[in-house]
A and B are shown apart, each in its own frame.
Chain A
Amino acid sequence: MNATPRNPATLNGRPDFEAIAAWIRPGSTVLDLGCGDGSLLAYLAEKVQVTGYGIEISDSNVLACVRNGVNVIQSDLDRGLAGFDAGSFDYVILSQTLQAMRNTEAIVQEMLRVGREGIVTFPNFGHWESRMQNLLGRMPVSDSLPYQWYDTPNIHLCTVKDFKAFCTTHAVRITDSLVLHRGRPVSILPNLLGSLAVFRFERAS
């Protein structure tokens, strides 16, 4: 049984992994929501010596984590993080999962209840390829959105701009962000030219 890759676009260079690792203090504690096969946690354990746990709902991903020696807790994120105490982790990460959550608002609030900081990565729906395909009358399909409309798990897609607006209205302060395309940071017109967004945030006091 092979674990489903989170996103084929990031499997080689894993630019979002590198960005996340650069933000994380060595030796801290990390909870990775929707951790897939545990490759991010394995990466962070090696690069910045985190103590990490993943949360996964899928049987095959839980098995892949056990096989990869990554701590994993089988649980449904849409039921929240009820088993986790407030402030019990340094970082709570939601990598390429935000767009597939049913209760998007609730999970972001839960991230900031359980973690001191939150990190999300998501495919940028504002990328020009998506806009173009939409303009031509089709739902976007790309490297970072490799699904057809009828089989996509992504039910809450957003753009870089949308996420920033969401943070403003939900008492979330963005402390760092990075938009990537094909593994390279995009600084000019990121909402148009970037396909993968990485945000770091905390509670707005």
Chain B
Amino acid sequence: MNREGHGNFVGAVKPQSMHFDQPLSFRSGTMLREYDLAYETYGTLNADGSNAVLVCHALNASHHVAGWYENEPDNIGWWDNMIGPGKPLDTRHFFVIGVNNLGGCFGSTGPATLNPETGKPYGSSFPVVTVQDWVEAQTRLADRLGIKRFAAVMGGSLGAMQALQWTISHPERVANAVVVAAAPKLSAQNIAFNEVARQAITTDPDFHGGDFYEHGVVPKRGLRLARMIGHITYLSDDAMMEKFGRTLRSGSINYHFDVDFEVESYLRHQGDKFAEYFDANTYLLITRALDYFDPARDSGDNLTSAMAAATARFLVVSFTSDWRFSPERSREIVKALLDNRRHVSYAEVDAPHGHDAFLLEDPRYHALVRSFFEQVHARL
């Protein structure tokens, strides 16, 4: 990402942290007695607290949604092209909140955090978290920030699932929802990819059943593989062909099993980078939260019944080349909303980048989000 020539920016931001000492019970039956949530905010909360927008993150992202850090000018928020003064989600009008989910590895309480009861990292004992649990934790942050009702909850991919869950669990607290590159639940193929990624991690000898911290090692080989397989599913076949083709690293075939093709080099680089900063247990937890997400499950597998509670106005956006969460999956959400006569607009953006398109700056996509938020602002 480039900070020059893209209009206005949030600028330097400071991550914040809030401590919660009221226990949080999880769907799995376990609980955390206390926890911290790392978050960032951009823009200003208005007097009646009505202009707050919660931005939920996907698999490998964090509360660092926009702007950069004073001491790390290259650490730019993951949705900086979407959020800022004059951006589609305009921080001159909205108070935007990014929060790192529980179980994460960017500041919120997670598997690498020291368990106050044992003095050791939670590791394998960290509760299996669900999207519902995350939403409950987010409601507590909202309470503490004085936000009774969000002007909007927004997310892409797993972040979109949180937005959906918000509209079902707390309809009175969500006026609008922006649901991008989403699915109402994972398919068997989606779960299969997650399982391969988890197997890569759990079979790494350095994983130590999830308690690798005390061994002073990191299951980097597993994380690398998990990232590589994940990354393939975020891109479209066309996007990969366009980006790498069959280009050879050294210009000729070397008859070995080291890197020959550019795409191999790219995947290894992505894997290496990821293994340096991401927590293996967090990867397991987040992919599991994806697998378990299925709001229709509690309503007799009927998504229309599940969405009956939702009262928000929705913008649902999918991307034609997204084979991980294809447009058909978004249409399931749209149909459930239509069945309930909810306000919903749905756009299918013809973008070539696959699932990752939701993070990129496609002018049609950004214009839709911008127009939707202009309406949200007008109704404040």
Binding site for B on A (CB under 8 A): 1, 29, 51, 53, 59, 62-63, 65-67, 69-75, 83-85, 88
| 294-343 of chain B: CB within 8 A of chain A | 315, 331, 334-335, 338-339, 341, 343
Q: Do A74 and B347 touch across chains, with their CB atoms under 8 A apart?
A: yes
How many whole Å from A15's CB to the nearest CB in chain B?
A: 28
**Does B348 lie at the interface of the complex (its beta carbon under 8 Å from any beta carbon of A)?**
yes
**Does B30 lie at the interface of the complex (its beta carbon under 8 Å from any beta carbon of A)?**
no
How many whole Å from B263's CB to the nearest CB in chain A?
A: 31
Q: Do B343 and A66 touch across chains, with their CB atoms under 8 A apart?
A: no
**Does B368 lie at the interface of the complex (its beta carbon under 8 Å from any beta carbon of A)?**
yes
Q: Which of A29, A70, A71 has the most CB of B within 10 A?
A: A71
Q: Which of B143-151, B164-172, B280-288, B369-377 contacts A (4 or more CB under 8 A)?
A: B369-377
A56 to B, closest residue via Cβ = B347
Q: Give which listed residue, B338, B339, B346, contacts A74 with CB less than 8 A.
A: B346
Interface string of B336-372 (1 = CB under 8 A from A): 0011010111111110000000000000100110011
A65 to B, closest residue via Cβ = B345
**A74–B345 CA distance with the chains assembled, in angstroms:** 8
Q: Do A63 and B348 touch across chains, with their CB atoms under 8 A apart?
A: no
**A65–B345 CA distance with the chains assembled, in angstroms:** 9
**A62–B348 CA distance with the chains assembled, in angstroms:** 10
Known: A53-B338, A71-B343, A71-B344. A62 touches B368 (CB 8 A): yes
Q: Give which listed residue, B331, B338, B371, contacts A63 with CB less than 8 A.
A: B371
How many whole Å from B151's CB to the nearest CB in chain A?
A: 15
Which 9 residue pairs across A and B have the least CB separation, nearest first? Answer: A67-B371, A66-B371, A73-B346, A74-B348, A74-B347, A72-B345, A69-B375, A62-B347, A66-B345
Query: Chain A residues near B350 (CB, 8 Å)?
Result: 59
Q: Do B335 and A83 touch across chains, with their CB atoms under 8 A apart?
A: yes
Q: Do B368 and A63 touch across chains, with their CB atoms under 8 A apart?
A: yes
Q: What are 11 A-B interface contacts by the 8 Å CB criterion?
A: A1-B367, A29-B341, A66-B371, A66-B375, A67-B374, A69-B378, A74-B348, A83-B335, A84-B338, A85-B339, A88-B338
**A51–B339 CA distance with the chains assembled, in angstroms:** 12
How many whole Å from B238's CB to the nearest CB in chain A?
A: 19
A51 to B, closest residue via Cβ = B341
Given contacts A66-B368, A73-B338, A83-B335, 13 further A-B contacts (CB under 8 A): A59-B350, A62-B368, A66-B345, A66-B371, A66-B375, A69-B378, A71-B343, A72-B345, A72-B347, A73-B345, A73-B346, A74-B346, A83-B338
A54 to B, closest residue via Cβ = B345
Query: Chain B residues near A63 (CB, 8 Å)?
Result: 347, 364, 367-368, 371
Query: Chain B residues near A70 (CB, 8 Å)?
Result: 345
**A84–B337 CA distance with the chains assembled, in angstroms:** 12
How many whole Å from B361's CB to the nearest CB in chain A?
A: 16
Query: Chain A residues near B345 (CB, 8 Å)?
Result: 62, 65-66, 70-73
**A83–B331 CA distance with the chains assembled, in angstroms:** 8
How many whole Å from B267's CB to the nearest CB in chain A?
A: 33
**A71–B337 CA distance with the chains assembled, in angstroms:** 11
**A72–B347 CA distance with the chains assembled, in angstroms:** 8
Query: Chain B residues near A71 (CB, 8 Å)?
Result: 343-345
A1 to B, closest residue via Cβ = B367
Q: Do A59 and B339 touch across chains, with their CB atoms under 8 A apart?
A: no
Query: Chain A residues near B339 (CB, 8 Å)?
Result: 85, 88
